[in-house]
Amino acid sequence: MCRSVVRAQLTQLSQALAAHDERKTLAALRVLLPLFQDVPTALRRTFLVSVLHHWHRQGLPPDNLVRLLPSGKQEPDILRLTALTLEHSEWDTALQMWHSYLTTATAAGLLSATGPEVARVLLRMADLFPPDPEALFDALEVESEQQLRRRIRTGQLPACFDRAALLERARAADPAPQVFRALVAHYDQWGDPKRAEAEAESWRHTHPHDLEPLLYLIRAAERRGAIRKALTLLADAEGLDRVHPEVRQSRFRLLLAGAERRIKESKPALALDDLERLAHEPRASEGDHPAYLLALRWVAAQQRGDTAATAQLEQAPTTAANPVLRGLILEAIGASLKVKLPPFPAASSSPSGTISGLARACDLFRTLDRPLTVPAALLKRVEQHLASASATQLHALCAGGL
């Protein structure tokens, strides 16, 4: 090896990397790679690892570099750094590189088959997948999860493209909370609520002091109408952390669901009793919760035929809530509880008041985990004046799915 040539090319390589100049960097590498073929293995590996490390740090596109690197059996460090370099541009190739790294490092005894280290690699591999299942199907040219699994079984796709299997391997290697969290999120996103709940239950029993799986199970039970089970889970959650914001919010939502169920069952007297107890909950006075509770009281009083209470409550919503917000709450309650409400005046408000009312409704119904349907006319009115909306209001509208 000619030391002067190597020194000159290394200087050019260093300067080109610092300047983020891919063309000059590749030119220097084309000269240097053949020169490093006959040096001791440790020196050659150090050179390749250094190149990959700095290429990754500079964020240069990996395609031309990977094509330039020598093929054949590679060391774990080179496979790992190649995977890191490819992650941001070719997730599928990076995934296979990580799989090769796992296999090679495990066989060489550099990585144990179980433990947090291998679980961390498997979680990183799982994080490479597109978050949207449809985007994944498009990338892998399949039409469904069934077809994806079939192609993996028949060898048309590598086994590492089974994201659930990667996460399950991570759990077997190290059943840590972050692994369970990823598993629950995966099955929840992929439309398998039973499996997501099963993983949350497993997480709960493996880590009995973790609050997160209980919060997930409470919401899951609540959404399918299993209020009694949700209340049992809530009691366990309160045993861990009674003042946690999500625990308090879950308690408020579940007690609210009980009052709503009374209205739906045409038991307004019991509903009013529930609402009276609910009024003493800390969350009852937060945000726009009072407006929602007031609307429920009005509906229950109407259902009971208590004209005096109805007349009294009819004055309160005008001052307690934006008229657009009040109208949306009443419409939503009537639709979700399937109760017939007397006609009430259409909400009229200024453009700023209309935007404020809809943004507040989005925040309120998302917090309560209740469905919100927005009339087309109201949505059109808001769209015409979006330029005057604040950043907070725009965020609320977007988070509300509008």
> Which residue type does 50 have?
S
**Which stretches of 154-288 are DSSP H helices?**
163-173, 177-189, 193-206, 212-223, 227-241, 245-264, 268-278
What pLDDT does residue 314 have?
Answer: 66
Q: Using CA atoms, how far apart are residues 218 and 20, in angstroms rounded to an integer?
A: 51
- Which residues are within 8 A (CB) of 393 and not within 5 positions of it... i.e. 6 or more apart? 355, 356, 359
Helix (H, G, I), strand (E, B) or coil at 277: helix
- Say what percent of the chain tops pLDDT 70: 94
The whole-angstrom separation of Cα 161 and Cα 129 is 9
Res 319: pLDDT = 44
One pLDDT digit (tens) per residue for the chain, 402 residues? 577 778 888 888 888 888 888 888 888 888 888 888 778 877 877 887 788 778 777 877 766 777 777 654 567 877 887 888 778 778 988 898 899 899 989 988 888 989 999 999 999 999 999 988 898 999 888 998 889 999 999 999 999 999 999 999 999 999 999 999 999 999 999 989 999 999 999 999 999 999 999 999 999 999 888 988 999 999 999 999 999 999 998 999 999 998 998 998 999 899 999 899 888 888 888 889 998 998 899 888 888 887 777 777 766 654 446 888 888 888 888 888 887 776 665 556 788 888 999 999 999 999 888 888 888 888 899 999 898 899 999 999 998 876
Taking only the tens place, the pLDDT of each residue in 220-277 is 999 888 988 999 999 999 999 999 999 998 999 999 998 998 998 999 899 999 899 8
Environment class of residue 151 by beta-carbon count within 10 Å: exposed (0-12), middle (13-18) or buried (19+)?
Answer: middle
Structure tokens at 332: 């939503």
DSSP 77-121: HHHHHHHHHHTTT-HHHHHHHHHHHHHHHHHTTSS-SSSHHHHHH
Q: What is the DSSP letter of 345?
A: P
pTM of the model: 0.73
* Domain 180-242 sits in CATH 1.25.40.10: yes
What tokens does 158 get? 């590598």
Based on the number of CB atoms within 10 Å of its own CB, is 394 exposed (0-12), middle (13-18) or buried (19 or more)?
middle
Q: Which residues contact 330 (CB under 8 A, 6 or more apart)?
A: 295, 298, 299, 341, 344
| CA dist., res. 374 & res. 363, Å (int) | 13
Residue 193: its pLDDT value, please? 93
According to the model, what pLDDT value does residue 315 have?
65
Q: Specify the pLDDT at position 74.
A: 67
Q: What is the pLDDT of residue 93?
A: 85
pLDDT at 84: 83
Q: What is the pLDDT of residue 235?
A: 95
